[in-house]
Amino acid sequence: MRISFTSLLLLCIGFTSAQSVKSPSQDIVTEFKLDQSGSPYYSVTYKNQPVIAKSYLGLDIKNEPSLSDSFTIMGVKSASVNDSWKPVLGEVAVIQNKYNQMSVMLRQEGTGRLLNIIFKAFDEGVAFRYEFPKQDKLNYFVIAAENTEFNLTGDHKAFWIPGDFDSQEYVYNETLLSEIDNDKLNLNNGIAVKSITDKYTIQSPLMMKSKNGLYINIFEAAVVNYPVMHLNLDAKTHKLTSQLVPNAIGDMAYLQAPAVTPWRTIMVSDDARDIVGQKMILNLNEPSKIDDTSWIKPMKYVGIWWEMHVGVSTWDYSGTQDASQNKFAKRKPHGATTENTKRYIDFAAKHGFDGVLVEGWNTGWEDWFGNWKEEVFDFTTPYPDFDIKEVTEYAKKKGVKMIMHHETSGSVTNYERRLDRAYKFMKDYGYGAVKTGYVGKIIPRGEFHDGQAMVNHFNYVPQRAAEYKILINSHESSRPTGVHRTWPNYIAAEAARGNEFNGWSSGNPPAHETILPFTRLLGGPMDYTPGIFEVKMNVYDATKTEQVHTTLAKQLALYVTMYSPLQMAADLPENYEKYPDAFQFIKDVAADWDDTKVLEAEPGDYLTIARKAKGTENWFLGAITDENARKTTLTLDFLTPDQKYKAIIYQDGKNADWKNDPINYEIKTIKVTAKTKLKLNLAPGGGTAISIVPIQ
């Protein structure tokens, strides 16, 4: 690590002018100052354009005076860092960590309490956090409110979802800031548990675009021992204020000094690709706490899962629980039988998938949802038709890894008190990865999915799992903020509206996957479960009108555009066998990368990414569009000069269309080099996937 300390001022010799810190590029300038009441505020400019106008900083402490005013600056410390590190799994082999730091040390008159505000200025944006140093005047304390402001300088276009303390599984709304209003949302959207407390509270990451073309993103990094930050909007002034998620009795966070808050991040660029490609969220997190990471591997998997979503089989043994939740419908077969599992194992082995997920293997599903019931699952009792010993032995023989499923139904007390037994059971049967689920109202009752206690739980599970060398893929968790750098066995999460909603709800509009990389994916990999080939649900039931809102080709492209080291081929084996040529892309595509190039990006419109597979010279390219058809020409100048490659292009067929003709695709093979200019032709809701392999 190269750190150069440029200044160290320790005495309070009149910090009357603003303190500032610039990004290494000099483009982003952050200024900090105290007003006449000693209240701290900051502002941010990008290439001399205002991004964040004067915005106050501060926190309220329960039963104590607020930490919002009467401060004096005791000192300002600066540093410059430029180093790099290697992620265990990732989009690139090496991540550069380059920023300028400004630490402002404050002392509150009257109380004598100390508060530091640390700014880190990256080229991608600026981050800051509150730091409570060890001190006599502040030891244990309770955050009653955080009053961080983000005073936006215009009525930007925003890609937003409502500030729901229990869910992020929403379709993004694309409106002006002044048009945000949760009361106008149609909440008949398939989300199981909703806790929206105010019409003007929205979630971060909040992606915006200003009228003069700046891409601005408000988010946070390293949410550890602190609740998730939502954002309260003043729709008239476009000011956002932090809204922490309370616990059952209205407290926000229990801290002991020394302590820090998560980083509050403001990314800004005039090129949308910089937002998608950012690495500052990871850089703001702690390095891996797992010494030996050799057991952490990327994973492509299939599983007994989508067949319940489309109503072919059920989670429960008694045959009533498919995603239709219609207990009075005709009984259907239980999905997780030994026989069916063996079928998936055979399929995985035949096509080179690493793992098989089986949901509905354990008792409890008859009565698992909607009753705030504490003891639903025990995580160690298979249904009688799932012979876990036989399955384990069969999978081992076939060289396939089994993926465990732990649905908690939100009963975290029950899960935590059974965690050791559940993980021991997994290891006894050779399971090295688990998909966790948190559908339902949280127990301890009164807690939200996004509160401090649950954040701690979501960080605790990978920590404990690491002791057992188990990978974690959480669903319905709070959304990631880069903590998978610290716990790299936290291989993926859902924490946004996944592909599953297309199976049984109004679904995800075609723009959805062009927004997620600007929002949810900034925090970490998503188990989006792409790869649905039978796009229309009427193949299962003629009365169904639900469908995936993409073409088949776009489903392929998602394996590249939606980064995750854990990727599911989500559709049924029999559907893949219908389209073996298209399926070849899913078999070929990598899940871990040495390099990534964001070629084109516009939130809500399109995204084109090329990635170089780990340890190879193979590239994979994904291009997606929203509901509009799109033509574009790419230069493949990321390829090695003078090297010839074979490119297999999986593209939308002529007249393909997500709604009317989604499965229409074409596959062609051409030769390309770094000089090739490639014309792409994306259907409405369509996409293109390309594998590019050197010709020896």
Catalytic (active-site) positions: 500
Measure the CA–CA gap between 678 and 674, rounded to whole angstroms. 11
Closest CB to a second copy among 143 and 216?
143
Q: What is the DSSP string of 89-145?
A: S-SSS-EEEEEEEEEEEEEETTT--EEEEEEEE-SSEEEEEEEE---SS-SEEEEEE
Greatest alpha-carbon pair distance for the chain in Å reads 79
Closest CB to a second copy among 153 and 463?
463
Query: CB of 113: closest distance to a second copy in angstroms?
Result: 17
Query: CB of 216: closest distance to a second copy in angstroms?
Result: 36
Find all residues with CB under 8 Å of 350, minimum gap 6, and list them. Answer: none
Closest CB to a second copy among 139 and 237?
139
**Reduced to 3 states, what is the DSSP secondary structure of residue 382?**
strand
Angle at the Cα of 634 from the Cα atoms of 630 and 638, rounded to 5 degrees: 145
Contact in structure between 466 and 290 (CB atoms under 8 Å): yes
User: Which residue in this structure is represented by tokens 């300002």?
Assistant: 76
Q: Nearest Cα to 180, choosing from 151, 160, 210, 194? A: 160
Closest CB to a second copy among 244 and 586?
244
Query: CB of 619: closest distance to a second copy in angstroms?
Result: 45
The 3-class secondary structure across 168-224, one letter per residue, is CCCCCEEEEHHHCCHHHCCCCCCCCCCCECCCCEEECCEEEECCCCCEEEEEEECCC
Query: CB of 415: closest distance to a second copy in angstroms?
Result: 9
Measuring CA to CA, how many Å separate 264 from each of 97, 165, 273? 17, 18, 21
Tokens encoding 158: 């925003």
Query: CB of 687: closest distance to a second copy in angstroms?
Result: 44
List contacts with a second copy (CB under 8 A). Answer: 139-140, 247-249, 251, 254, 256, 371-374, 413, 416-417, 419-421, 444-447, 453, 456, 460
Find all residues with CB under 8 Å of 371, minimum gap 6, and list them. Answer: none
Query: CB of 141: closest distance to a second copy in angstroms?
Result: 10
Measure the CA–CA gap between 611 and 360, rounded to whole angstroms. 35
Contact in structure between 23 and 122 (CB atoms under 8 Å): yes
Tokens encoding 176: 């002006």
Contact in structure between 479 and 168 (CB atoms under 8 Å): yes
Contact in structure between 288 and 388 (CB atoms under 8 Å): no
Closest CB to a second copy among 385 and 416?
416
Burial label, 192 (beta-carbon count in 10 A; 0-12, 13-18, 19+): middle
Burial label, 677 (beta-carbon count in 10 A; 0-12, 13-18, 19+): exposed
Query: CB of 163: closest distance to a second copy in angstroms?
Result: 20
Closest CB to a second copy among 230 and 457?
457
Closest CB to a second copy among 171 and 223?
223
Measure the CA–CA gap between 545 and 541, rounded to whole angstroms. 9
Measure the CA–CA gap between 566 and 527, rounded to whole angstroms. 7
Closest CB to a second copy among 233 and 454?
454
Closest CB to a second copy among 371 and 643?
371
Measure the CA–CA gap between 168 and 203, rounded to whole angstroms. 8
Measure the CA–CA gap between 57 and 318, rounded to whole angstroms. 55
Amino acid at 677: K
